[in-house]
């Protein structure tokens, strides 16, 4: 089964199927899963998650069961189907043959920022520097520890943990590179602007 553009759906389809491939989850649990994992490189709004789960259920890629709760509203737990696993597998096997274009709002701002005063530009760059320093620290501590803890509690996830750490490492290296670029840019603007 080749994964054609029309069949592809969205990347969010794949993220949800990937999460459900680990274990059945509610929409809320899937949102938490995304926040702890793929949000570093691919995020989603809660409303998008629920719309996509409805679509995946109509496509028979997931099924759901209602769990009654006495003190809260009932909740819907989603389960991946064989068709969903096949859709995930086909997507994973498809090679990427192009570099995907990225969007970076800071670069867009800087590109057109020559009309701004030096202080305004430096303030924006220093704010971004603080944010990227926080992101770097997160990758080096919490994210790394979370992966290690997951593998410790479930040794069957050793291969998954390796792949998670590979993605974490790119986040760490990207943040380090962005910080170096910000430091260089700040210095250049201080010296040359």
Span 155-169, mean pLDDT? Answer: 95
Own/partner pairs, 128-131, CB within 8 angstroms, 24+ separation: 128/182, 129/179, 129/182, 129/183, 129/186
Residues 123 and 179 grouped into a single domain: yes
pLDDT at 102: 87
For residue 112, being part of any structural domain is answered with yes
Mean of the per-residue pLDDT values of the chain = 93
Shared domain check, 87 and 116? no
81 with 135, same domain?
A: no
Tens of pLDDT, residue by residue over 51-68, are 999 999 999 999 999 999
The pLDDT value given to residue 111: 96
CA nearest 13: which of 72, 76, 90?
90
Task: Look at residues 93, 128, 147 and tell me which one is the last residue of a structural domain.
Answer: 93
Full-model pTM: 0.82
pLDDT for the residue numbered 4: 43
- What confidence tens digit (pLDDT) does each residue in 28-59 have? 999 999 999 998 889 899 999 999 999 999 99
81 pLDDT more than 50: yes
Least confident range from 150-154, 159-163, 175-179: namely 150-154
Over residues 89-137, the pLDDT tens digits come to 999 999 999 998 889 999 999 999 999 999 999 999 999 999 999 999 9
> Under a CB-based contact definition with an 8 Å cutoff, are residues 26 and 53 in contact?
no
Pair (58, 119) in one structural domain: no
Q: What is the model's pLDDT at position 164?
A: 95
Residue 61: give its domain's CATH number: 1.10.10.10
- Residue 99 located in a structural domain: no
């Amino acid at each position: 089964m080749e994964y054609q553009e029309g069949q592809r759906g969205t990347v969010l389809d794949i993220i949800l199927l990937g999460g459900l491939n680990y274990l059945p989850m509610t929409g809320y649990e899937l949102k938490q899963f995304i926040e702890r994992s793929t949000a570093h490189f691919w995020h989603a709004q809660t409303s998008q998650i629920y719309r996509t789960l409805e679509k995946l259920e109509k496509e028979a890629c997931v099924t759901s069961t209602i769990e009654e709760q006495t003190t809260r509203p009932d909740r819907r737990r989603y389960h991946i189907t064989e068709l969903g696993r096949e859709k995930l597998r086909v997507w994973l096997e498809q090679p990427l043959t192009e570099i995907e274009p990225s969007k970076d709002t800071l670069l867009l701002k800087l590109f057109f920022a020559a009309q701004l005063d030096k202080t305004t530009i430096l303030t924006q760059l220093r704010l971004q520097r603080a944010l990227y320093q926080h992101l770097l620290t997160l990758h080096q501590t919490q994210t790394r520890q979370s992966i290690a803890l997951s593998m410790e509690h479930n040794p069957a996830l050793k291969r998954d943990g390796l792949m998670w750490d590979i993605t974490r490492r790119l986040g760490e290296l990207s943040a380090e590179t962005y910080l170096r670029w910000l430091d260089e840019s700040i210095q250049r603007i201080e010296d040359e602007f």
